[in-house]
Amino acid sequence: MTFNEGIQLDPNRVKTSRGGRGAAVGGIGGLIALIIFMFTGVDLSGVLGGSSTDTASGGTIDLSHCVDADAANQYVECRMVATAESLDALWEQALPQQAGVRYEMPGFTVFEASVNTACGQASSATGPFYCPADQTVYLDVSFFDTLETQLGAENAPLAQEYIVAHEWGHHIQNQLGYMAQVNLRDTGPESGAVRLELQADCLAGMWVRHAASTVDPETGVTFLEPPTRAQLEDALTAAAAVGDDRIQEMTQGRAFPETFTHGTSEQRMRWFATGYEGGTVQSCDTFSMSGADL
């Protein structure tokens, strides 16, 4: 989607971090004791061929130029700032209206190589994730390249935004108490883990539905132009690329449904579409579905 001229961005909405590529930091290795919610069901170091992405050393990620729509439409790091502000504006309204809960803004840290969190240390191979212990979304934008080169989706703006909105969905689930109900040791097609992930996809679709009518509170301008069919297709393709079945077939040769934690490609696309069409938190109630309807 394209951000509208006239919006004003606050680069301070997003924190940045650049860590070393310590040998001890292997994907989720540093995180196993603690609960996080990853965008994919796998440690991407396998997908990345054993090493995490190479990033230039030194310097920090600079967001100071992320102040307007031109920057958001041109630079991926600024697109993160704009997407965060759009998500804040939507959930500020929708959460009290639809669920009677006051929205608390999650933290959002864009990092390179590795990052320290209240859930432990993570690397780029972890992929985007949400840490409930510090209520923060963590994302290395190099994941978007991985999405294209390794997972076969298009590295397109709406695909990137869908991923951020999915992680925001986890924060909403945390606020609504869904997260606490789920036993994450439980895996499989009808597990709480899968229901939680599909619900996050649905909440991301819900954001896309409303993004073009959500207004920047600072300027009164709507954040985004309505998505085109081709842009929606980019988000759906990204959802399909991270289905458990697709990733397991790629990394292990076949799918093992009893180990599913995120749902199949078909389910991830369908729940994104359900949120887009339904447009409400209620339409995303994956927990009340029978397994056959999930």
Q: Is the Cβ of residue 18 or residue 268 nearer to Zn ion in the bound state?
A: 268
**Residue 94 Cα distances to 85, 186, 210, angstroms:** 14, 31, 10
Between 179 and 200, name the residue whose CB sits nearer to Zn ion: 200
CB neighbours (10 Å) of residue 113? 21
Q: Residue 205, class by beta-carbon neighbours within 10 Å (0-12 exposed, 13-18 middle, 19+ buried)?
A: buried
Nearer to Zn ion, 195 or 209 (CB): 195
CB of 134 to Zn ion, least distance (A): 16
Q: Which residues in 214-253 contact Zn ion (CB under 5 A)?
A: none
Beta strands across the sheet bearing 107-112: 15-18, 107-112, 136-139, 129-131, 37-38
**Minimum distance from CB of 57 to Zn ion (Å)?**
30
Closer residue to Zn ion in complex, CB, 162/276: 162
Which is nearer to Zn ion, 37 or 207 (by Cβ)?
37
- In the complex, the smallest distance separating the C-beta of residue 80 from Zn ion, rounded to whole angstroms, is 17
Tokens (6 digits) for 80: 């993160």
Cβ nearer to Zn ion, comparing 171 with 209 = 171
Q: How far is the CB of 239 from Zn ion (least distance, A)?
A: 11
Smallest separation (angstroms) from Zn ion to the CB of 139? 12
Given a contact cutoff of 8 angstroms between Cβ atoms, the answer to whether 4 and 224 are in contact is yes
Using CB under 5 A as the binding criterion, the count of chain residues that bind Zn ion stands at 3
Site for Zn ion in 16-55 (CB under 5 A): 37
Mask of contacts with Zn ion, 80-99, x by CB under 5 A? --------------------
Q: How far is the CB of 184 from Zn ion (least distance, A)?
A: 11
Q: How far is the CB of 38 from Zn ion (least distance, A)?
A: 6
Choose between 66 and 200: whose C-beta lies nearer to Zn ion. Answer: 200
Q: Which is nearer to Zn ion, 10 or 266 (CB)?
A: 266
From residue 198 to residue 217, the character string flagging contacts with Zn ion as x (rule: CB under 5 A) and all else as - is --x-----------------
Q: How many CB atoms lie within 10 A of CB 98?
A: 16
State in angstroms the smallest separation of the CB of 216 from Zn ion.
Answer: 27
Residues 141-200 that bind Zn ion (CB under 5 A): 197, 200
Residue ranges that bind Zn ion, judged by CB under 5 A: 37, 197, 200
